[in-house]
Structure 1
């Protein structure tokens, strides 16, 4: 995976597979401290301590379709190569929090990629999930909680062309606005 947005997509898909009903994705850029923080928190089935320790091993996966799981191990290696870290907190029956941090300006740090498109894909493709998306650069923050949108729409699906167009513009314009702040 060449973009951090794809790693977020992978982790969020793991959350969905774990039966999560609520998923929060957070991106925080601190230009002063030169840090980039990403997290995905869910209320899925969680993992026991032994599985949490093993999940960074590429040859450990709970998937039955293949024998390797490279997403988390590759993200951990990428973070550590950029003066960062990856932490996983999980409790069986309560959910999981995956956190990763990078030196923001590190020459080898992957680009964020299409954050707006990734979130839109998750939101529209999984309307049964309660999604919260937070993106901040220094003191400026954009937050989208889909519960408010879903309540307003009532029975209109998120995939309705007008709704989809609105959501795309909302996400893209706010992400673009924040990214204009984060330019070096």
Structure 2
């Protein structure tokens, strides 16, 4: 420290930890239920808007063998996600004629995406991971269309709608 340096009058204190794991241990612990753990492992990140907000710390079978239970820990902002209405889903690569997405997960592996509740709800630490990302198109104001087709099954959920 420089004894001649001016002081702002307020001393700010910060906690320092030996490792990232030790700092994360102060976060919120969650239990996430999922059908199967294919591609998931200890250390799988939990993300929100591309930022890592937590990670999976343990994986095991549910007591009734109906699925897999992930023990996860969220970091400093965890309380904002530990609320009823928050949704979680696994992001994996999709390769196909109709849709190609999440190609980065071919190298990095799958991750869990989080979407906090739109309104503050009751505290919750047990969640069921959804099979796929929630459809957010119906939540905002936009153009609503009703599609019809001559052949049954030619329009499916996830089929692209294009103009021109």
**TM-score scaled by length of structure 2:** 0.24
Bigger radius of gyration? 2
Bigger RCO (CA 8 Å, 6+ sep): 1
Higher percent of residues as helix: 1
